């Protein structure tokens, strides 16, 4: 069974790729999340992505912010 960190890295890679595909920067993601009532600063997003440590709820919030309705693993 892979270590948890492998899944954390995979989740971060998937989210980074989707943000890039959507053409959304961390600053723009922060603005989109703010518009949804979610207080996430750009630096916090950058740190979460670098560490790969974020909740499934955060990933879903990001997906909703960039209008991503389907995610293929």
Q: Is residue 70 part of a domain?
A: no
Q: Is residue 73 part of a domain?
A: no
- For residues 56 and 23, give the distance between their C-alpha atoms in angstroms, rounded to a whole number: 22
Give, for 33, the enclosing helix (H) or strand (E). Answer: helix 26-35
Q: Is residue 72 part of a domain?
A: no
At 43 the three-state DSSP class reads: helix
Structure tokens given for 24? 């959304």
Query: For the chain, what is the domain count?
Result: 1
Average pLDDT for runs of 10 along the chain of length 73: 78 96 98 98 96 94 96 84
* CA dist list (Å): 12 to 35, 37, 48: 23, 22, 8
**CA nearest to 42, candidates 29, 57, 32:** 29
Q: What pLDDT, on a 0 to 100 scale, did the predictor assign at position 4? A: 67
Q: What pLDDT, on a 0 to 100 scale, did the predictor assign at position 65? A: 98
Q: Is residue 54 part of a domain?
A: yes
User: Which residue segment(s) compose the domain that 56 sits in?
Assistant: 4-65
């Amino acid at each position: 069974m892979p270590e948890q960190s492998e899944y954390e890295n995979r989740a971060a890679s998937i989210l980074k790729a989707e943000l890039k595909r959507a053409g959304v920067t961390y600053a723009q993601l922060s603005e989109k999340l703010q518009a949804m009532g979610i207080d996430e600063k750009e630096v916090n997003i950058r740190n979460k992505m670098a560490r790969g440590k974020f909740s499934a709820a955060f990933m879903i919030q990001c997906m909703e912010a960039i209008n991503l309705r389907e995610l293929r693993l």
